[in-house]
Amino acid sequence: MIGNNDKITKGQNAGLIIGSVFGVGILSLPSDLAKDFGSDGIMMLIIGSVLTILLVMIHTKLTLKFTGKTVVEIMDALIPKPIGVLFSIIFILFYIFSAASVVRISSEIVKMFLLQNTPLEVIIITMLISNVYIARKGIETIARLVQIIFPLAIIPFFILLLAIVPDLDFTNIYPIFQVGPMDIAKGIKVVMFSFIGTEIILISTAYLNDTKKVLRYNILSVVFLAVIYITIFIVVLTQFGRIQTMDLLWPTLFLMKTVDVPGTFLENVDGVVIGLWTFLTLQSLAIILMQGSVILSKSLKLKETNFMSMPLLPIIYILALVPENIAAAYEYIGLFSNYFGTAIAIVIPILLFSISLFKKKKGANKA
């Protein structure tokens, strides 16, 4: 059962979806899209958004069939226990690897731009300890935190983008419609993985105080993310062009280096943006730790869920230090996203939803 102090609203749930998706991925997304699709990355983002909305519909409809239950409890009701345990392990491993990747990349960026003389290990452990503390406060506290942090970070970012608009060269968008159907089919996973995080619905829906119109809120959260992604991609592409965008590891961050604020009252704009972006990654990391804690505690049949993020901390810390450099870290992200990400966001939810429909039909036939 879910305690009253951990109940969230539909708006907070939508905020959790946005906060879960929007993190380190947006930094390299324009570069990844430019390499594979060029200007057609805009079209790919639209296609990816539509497919994500379909997945969100499946996630939402599945959880609404089992009011007040998380994905672990849904698996207990629908599939044999050994398979359910295996799926739970996949979820836990995904959240552990996700947390390790987010904290490693975030720490690398903070060290590169803000704290050059601070050891990477110190930055990582500081981020982890602060986020474990936040995760222990529960889903309602994290939802409130997202409501504060996200607008505080994203609004100044887009205000700064306005200063770049006069310098944008929209001819850099051309040529368009250069990718064929086969290229779209092969490359759609690049875009889909940029929306990894929407599967939080499989956990957060259990904590809703009112499920009416929740599907609409969830879909709107994906549309909101799609608008942000498309806007950032267009601005980056028109500012740098395809070739330069491909060569930049984090074009979204380097975009801020081109900002010239009138009046020059801000000398280090990129430093301010990185500071704001750090808040976004902290909320994303807290959400990941919270999900891992919930899955682990529900799998072990524990009544208290909030403290389970503590045992994960040393494992995440060690895994965060495994990659030799930032390139290796991104290789690890690609590896576990291909397998674990596909499993928890697509395969397992669709399987559970299909089984629930079959059982409902079978029950109706018996009646």
Query: Structural domain of residue 69, as residue ranges?
Result: 4-350
In a domain, residue 260? The reply is yes
pLDDT tens, N- to C-terminus, the chain (367 residues): 444 457 889 999 999 999 888 877 777 888 888 887 888 888 888 988 999 999 999 999 999 998 889 999 999 988 899 999 999 999 999 999 889 988 998 888 888 878 888 899 999 999 899 888 888 888 888 999 888 888 888 888 888 778 788 878 788 788 777 777 777 777 777 788 888 888 899 999 999 988 888 999 999 999 999 999 999 888 888 888 888 888 888 888 777 777 666 655 556 666 777 778 888 888 888 899 999 889 988 888 887 777 777 888 899 999 999 888 888 888 887 777 777 888 888 899 999 999 988 876 555 444 4
Quick check: is 364 in a domain?
A: no
Q: pTM of the entire structure?
A: 0.88
Count of structural domains, the chain: 1
In angstroms, what CA-CA distances link 21 with 57, 146, 193, 208, 284? 16, 12, 9, 19, 8
Tell me if 357 is assigned to some domain.
no
**Residue 365 covered by a domain:** no
- Is 232 within a domain? yes
DSSP per-residue string spanning 315-367:
HHHHHHH-SSSHHHHHHHHHHHIIIIIHIIIIIHHHHHHHHHHHHHHHHHHH-
Asked if residue 191 is part of any domain, the answer here is yes
pLDDT, position 268 = 64
C-alpha R_g of the chain: 21
Q: Which of 90, 11, 148, 151 is nearest to 291 (CA)?
A: 90
Can you give the CATH number for the domain in which 231 is found? 1.20.1740.10
- Does residue 361 lie within any of the structural domains? no
What local confidence, expressed as pLDDT, does residue 260 receive?
Answer: 65
Alpha-carbon span 185 to 39, nearest angstrom: 17
Residues 358, 110: Cα–Cα separation, whole Å: 49
Enter the tokens of residue 318: 């060690």
Return the pLDDT at 5: 54
Helix (H, G, I), strand (E, B) or coil at 224: helix
The answer to whether residue 355 is domain-embedded is no
* pLDDT recorded at residue 161: 79
